[in-house]
Amino acid sequence: MSQEIIAVVNADQATKKFLESCHFNGLGLQFFANGLDLSNAWLGKDLDIVAIISQSEIMGASGISLLEALRSKKFSSVPFFLLTSPTKENLLRFSLKAGVTDVFVTPYDASKIAIRVNFVIENWDRINTKQQSNIHKPYQTPLIKRVFDICFASIVLLLLSPILLLVIIAVRMESKGPVFYYSLRVGTGYRIFKFFKFRSMYVNADQRLKDLKHLNQYNAGATEVESKTDSAPVLCDECLARGSKCQMPVYADNNSWCEKEYTVFKRATANSAFIKIKDDPRVTKVGKVLRNTSIDELPQLVNVLIGDMSIVGNRPLPLYEAEKLTTDKYALRFMAPAGITGLWQVMKRGKGEMSEEERLMLDNNYAQNHSFLYDIGLILKTIPALFQKESV
């Protein structure tokens, strides 16, 4: 019979040494670089895993997303612990509601972690029964909606393939850099995925965001905050202190950097969850055409085919926006499908200014009332909304 082990995911060297110093009642520790390595090893080897300890931000790839991925693959239910940096109280509550067994924040206490982990493992059968009854079932795309999404996305990609080719050539000719880019977005049930678009900005546009915070239409009165540096470094100080490994990377323009470098910008826009800059100077000339016609959104049809999104739904949000929307008032928007177009685009886009509160209420309205026929109606109304004059 194989030895019972605790699987440790995404831990830096300091954390590995720390966990090895903890007393887990003789249980062995086995380390995995990420969730994929854990999944492959769990499937391919006779591993008797009795608990998982993951070092990650709550909304990071090895946080709630990893827990949901393991559930979707029907792995055995075992305690799932998170080691993370200090975070907001509402995020901690959300992680526990999502099924995380417990969250330990820095600075870690070896004796407390050992006592808690050992207790949960020994009493897991009783704890798990109660925990499972409180977990909210994630949204499941109805079969008719999924079939429609696949057929619609495939037909549109085929019909527009000549236009897509012209766009690729135009983007290449105007500015150096990749034709496509992706960033991590939060969709249905707070699931994180890669979100694809045609590049409509100059290279390194995301790193210039801190210099344009005063133009954010959702927070026009934000206080000016000076940045410590002229350009965003690859890693923030905290990630460097934890072993030179980014805990929550962002990918765009063929580069990656630490999302915690948005901290200064987020403080300046603390009252706003959304970012919108009118006549954004980071946008290329071709990019303005792509945005005003929504052609830059077409690569998201690939996200639809993959199953990350639907044609109609609430827009998936960047991590730094989604983390502000975990209260009961706003979390409802994440209980609906993520989509390319949706209610707020049809109702408000191109028809004047829209407040953050209005947008959130429209998202919640869609979450409460969406259906297949409702989606078809929104698609028919989307066509005239595509040719709006507002630069968003």
Those residues whose C-beta lies under 8 Å from the C-beta of residue 251, and which sit 6 or more positions away, are: 181, 182, 183, 184, 194
Rounded to the nearest integer, the mean pLDDT of the chain is 78
Query: What pLDDT, on a 0 to 100 scale, did the predictor assign at position 206?
Result: 56
Sheet with 192-198: strands ordered across: 192-198, 180-186, 317-318
* Spatial CA neighbour of 81 closest among 97, 99, 108: 99
Mean local confidence (pLDDT), 266-272: 48
Query: What pLDDT, on a 0 to 100 scale, did the predictor assign at position 31?
Result: 95
Beta bridge partners of 80: 52
For the cut 80, the answer to whether the pLDDT of residue 318 exceeds it is yes
Query: What pLDDT, on a 0 to 100 scale, did the predictor assign at position 360?
Result: 82
Q: What is the DSSP string of 312-348?
A: ESBPPEEHHHHTT--SHHHHGGGGS-BEEE-HHHHHH
Query: What pLDDT, on a 0 to 100 scale, did the predictor assign at position 383?
Result: 66
Tens-digit pLDDT profile for residues 84-141: 988 877 788 888 888 899 999 989 999 999 999 999 999 998 887 755 544 555 678 8
Query: What pLDDT, on a 0 to 100 scale, did the predictor assign at position 126?
Result: 83
The Cα–Cα gap between 187 and 349 comes to 21
Query: What pLDDT, on a 0 to 100 scale, did the predictor assign at position 258?
Result: 59
In terms of Cβ atoms closer than 10 Å to its own Cβ (0-12, 13-18, 19+), residue 387 is exposed
Neighbours of 71 (CB within 10 A): 14
Among the ranges given (116-120, 350-354, 380-384), the one the predictor scored with the smallest mean pLDDT: 350-354
Residue ranges per structural domain of the chain? 4-134, 143-386
Query: What pLDDT, on a 0 to 100 scale, did the predictor assign at position 276?
Result: 56
* Spatial CA neighbour of 87 closest among 99, 105, 69, 67: 105
Query: What pLDDT, on a 0 to 100 scale, did the predictor assign at position 254?
Result: 47
Mean local confidence (pLDDT), 367-392: 74
Tens-digit pLDDT profile for residues 239-267: 666 555 565 555 544 455 555 554 444 44
Query: What pLDDT, on a 0 to 100 scale, did the predictor assign at position 131?
Result: 56
The Cα–Cα gap between 215 and 153 comes to 35
Tell me, rounded to whole angstroms, the distance of Cα 228 from its chain centroid. Answer: 26
Could you give the C-alpha distances from 126 to 82, 120, 122, in angstroms and in order?
21, 9, 9
Among the ranges given (15-19, 30-34, 187-191), the one the predictor scored with the smallest mean pLDDT: 187-191
Percent of the chain with pLDDT over 70: 71
Element (H, E) at 251: strand 249-252
Among the ranges given (102-106, 147-151, 345-349), the one the predictor scored with the smallest mean pLDDT: 345-349
| CB-based contacts of 43-46 (< 8 A; 24+ apart in sequence) | 46/2
Name the most confidently modeled range: 199-203, 282-286, 313-317, 322-326: 313-317
Query: Residue ranges of the alpha helices (H) in the chain?
Result: 13-20, 35-44, 64-72, 89-97, 110-122, 124-134, 143-159, 161-174, 237-241, 263-268, 285-292, 300-306, 319-322, 328-331, 343-348, 356-369, 372-386
Tens-digit pLDDT profile for residues 199-244: 887 776 555 555 555 555 555 444 443 334 334 445 566 566 655 5
**Two tokens, residue 387:** 């040719």
Tens-digit pLDDT profile for residues 42-97: 987 778 999 999 999 888 888 888 898 888 787 888 999 999 988 877 788 888 88
Residue environment code for 12-51, b if the CB has 16+ CB neighbours within 10 A, otherwise e: beebeebbeebebeebeeebbeebeebbeebeeeebebbb
The 3-state DSSP class for residue 256 equals: strand
Tens-digit pLDDT profile for residues 297-313: 899 999 999 999 999 99
Between residues 181 and 136, which one has the greater pLDDT? Answer: 181
Query: What pLDDT, on a 0 to 100 scale, did the predictor assign at position 243?
Result: 58
Neighbours of 220 (CB within 10 A): 9
Length, in residues, of the chain: 392
- Fold adopted by 4-134: Rossmann fold (3.40.50)
